[in-house]
C-alpha cells in the first residue's frame, strides 16, 4: 500500500512540476505573441514526453541513487510530498520556483532524517553530488544570461537583414520560436522528469523487481503525463508571471531567451552525464528566468528594461526552497517513524 501511495505521490509531484515549470519552455513563445497559450502547451506536452522517454533516465539516476544511495519507500514518499507541498504553494501564487531545488531538498531532508534515526552516518550522504548540484544552480543562471545576450545580438542582426531583403521576418522568427520551444520542452522533459520520479529509480527496481530499463520507461511515462496535466490545469498562473512581468518580449527577444534556456538545460543534462556518469538536475526555472533577464539587458536601455521588483520576489522564493523542502521531508519522515513505527 505504501508503494502504491509512493507512486501516486510521484504523479502528484509531476503534476506540481507541470503546474510550475510548464512556464519555462512556453513563456517566451506566449510572451512574444508567437503562439497562443493553448498551442504552446500542446507542443510542450508532446516534446516533454519525447525528452522524458529518451534522456530522462540521466537525471533519474542522479536523484534516485546519487545523493542518498538507498532510499526506502517511506523515505521516497516523504521526499516527494515535502517537495510537492512547497511547489504547489508557489504555483497557486503564480511564483516560478525551482522544482529541482525542491526535490533535491526533499531527498537531502530524508538523508538527514536517516542520520537522526541512526540508519546511516552523515558521511554516507553523497555531499560531492550535492555540491555539484548547488554549483549548477549558480552557474546555469549565469550561462543563461550570457547565452541570451549573445543570441539576441545575433538574431537582431538576422532580423534586420531579413527586413532589408524584404523577407517576412516575423513569420520566420515565429517559426524559429516554435522550433526552439520544441527543443526547450524536449530538454525540459529530459531534465525535469527526474525531479518527480528520480527517488523511485532505486525503489521501483528494489521492491518490484523490474529491470532498470523497464523502470525508467515506466517512471518517464508517469512523470511526463503528470507534467502535461499540471501544465494544462494550473500552469497559466506562473506562465503569466514569467511571460509578462519580468520584461517585455518581442519575437527576437523571445527567440533569444528560448534558445538560451533550451541550450543551457540540454548542456547540464547531457555533458555531466558523459563526463561524470550522472546528469545535473539543473533548475529549468533558473535558466528560463535568467534568459529573459538576459534579453532584457541586451535590448536598448539595458537594466531599465527589467522589472526588478518581480525578480526580487522570485529570488526570495528560490533562496527559501532548499531549506523549506528539506525541513518538510525531514519532519514528515521522523513523524512517520515516531507515530507509525515505520
Each residue's pLDDT, cut to its tens digit, for the chain (342 residues) gives 766 776 788 788 889 989 998 988 899 999 999 999 999 999 999 999 998 888 877 666 555 556 776 778 888 888 888 999 999 999 999 999 888 788 888 989 999 999 999 988 888 888 877 787 677 778 889 999 999 999 999 999 999 888 887 777 888 889 999 998 998 899 888 877 777 776 676 666 667 766 567 777 887 888 889 999 999 999 989 999 999 999 989 999 999 999 998 888 888 778 877 887 766 667 778 889 999 999 999 998 888 999 999 999 998 998 899 899 999 999 999 999 999 888
Q: Give the pLDDT confidence score for residue 135 in this predicted structure.
A: 79
Closest CA to 281 of 265, 292, 259: 265
H or E stretch including 247?
Answer: none
Q: What is the residue-wise DSSP string for 278-306? A: S-----HHHHHHHHHHHHHHHSTTGGGGS
Q: Give the pLDDT confidence score for residue 3 in this predicted structure.
A: 67
- Measured distance CA(50)–CA(313) in Å, rounded: 33
Q: Give the pLDDT confidence score for residue 68 in this predicted structure.
A: 75
- Measured distance CA(331)–CA(109) in Å, rounded: 8
Q: Give the pLDDT confidence score for residue 125 in this predicted structure.
A: 84
Q: Give the pLDDT confidence score for residue 191 in this predicted structure.
A: 75
Q: Give the pLDDT confidence score for residue 306 in this predicted structure.
A: 94
C-alpha cell at 152: 539576441
Contact 203, 272 (CB under 8 A): no
- Measured distance CA(39)–CA(204) in Å, rounded: 35
- Measured distance CA(20)–CA(239) in Å, rounded: 8
Q: Give the pLDDT confidence score for residue 117 in this predicted structure.
A: 92
Q: What is the residue-wise DSSP string for 239-262? A: HHHHHHSSS---HHHHHHHHHHHH
Contact 66, 279 (CB under 8 A): no
Q: Give the pLDDT confidence score for residue 61 in this predicted structure.
A: 56
Whether this model's pTM surpasses 0.85: no
- Measured distance CA(293)–CA(270) in Å, rounded: 25
Amino acid at each position: 500500500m505504501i508503494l502504491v501511495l509512493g507512486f501516486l505521490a510521484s504523479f502528484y509531484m509531476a503534476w506540481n512540476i507541470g503546474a510550475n515549470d510548464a512556464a519555462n519552455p512556453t513563456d517566451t513563445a506566449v510572451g512574444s505573441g508567437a503562439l497562443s497559450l493553448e498551442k504552446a502547451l500542446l507542443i510542450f506536452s508532446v516534446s516533454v514526453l519525447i525528452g522524458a522517454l529518451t534522456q530522462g533516465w540521466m537525471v533519474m539516476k542522479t536523484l534516485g541513487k546519487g545523493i542518498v544511495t538507498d532510499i526506502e519507500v517511506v523515505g521516497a514518499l516523504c521526499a516527494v510530498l515535502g517537495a510537492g507541498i512547497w511547489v504547489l504553494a508557489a504555483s497557486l501564487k503564480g511564483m516560478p520556483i525551482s522544482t529541482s531545488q525542491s526535490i533535491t531538498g526533499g531527498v537531502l531532508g530524508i538523508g538527514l532524517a536517516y542520520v537522526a534515526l541512526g540508519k546511516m552516518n552523515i558521511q554516507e550522504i553523497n555531499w560531492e553530488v550535492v555540491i555539484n548540484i548547488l554549483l549548477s544552480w549558480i552557474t546555469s543562471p549565469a550561462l543563461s544570461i550570457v547565452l541570451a545576450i549573445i543570441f539576441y545580438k545575433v538574431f537582431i542582426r538576422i532580423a534586420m537583414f531579413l527586413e532589408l531583403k524584404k523577407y517576412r521576418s516575423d513569420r520566420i522568427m515565429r517559426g524559429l520560436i516554435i522550433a526552439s520551444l520544441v527543443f526547450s520542452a524536449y530538454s525540459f522533459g529530459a531534465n525535469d522528469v527526474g525531479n518527480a520520479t528520480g527517488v523511485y529509480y532505486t525503489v521501483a527496481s528494489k521492491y518490484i523487481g523490474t529491470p532498470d530499463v523497464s523502470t525508467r520507461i515506466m517512471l518517464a511515462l508517469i512523470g511526463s503525463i503528470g507534467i502535461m496535466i499540471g501544465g494544462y490545469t494550473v500552469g497559466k498562473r506562473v506562465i503569466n508571471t514569467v511571460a509578462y512581468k519580468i520584461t517585455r518580449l518581442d519575437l527576437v527577444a523571445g527567440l533569444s531567451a528560448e534558445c538560451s534556456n533550451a541550450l543551457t538545460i540540454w548542456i547540464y543534462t547531457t555533458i555531466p552525464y558523459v563526463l561524470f556518469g550522472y546528469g545535473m538536475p539543473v533548475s529549468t526555472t533558473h535558466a528560463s528566468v535568467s534568459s529573459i533577464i538576459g534579453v532584457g539587458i541586451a535590448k536598448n536601455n539595458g537594466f531599465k528594461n527589467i522589472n526588478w521588483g518581480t525578480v526580487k520576489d522570485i529570488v526570495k522564493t528560490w533562496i527559501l526552497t532548499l531549506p523549506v523542502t528539506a525541513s518538510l521531508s525531514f519532519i514528515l519522515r521522523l513523524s512517520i517513524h515516531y507515530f507509525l513505527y515505520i
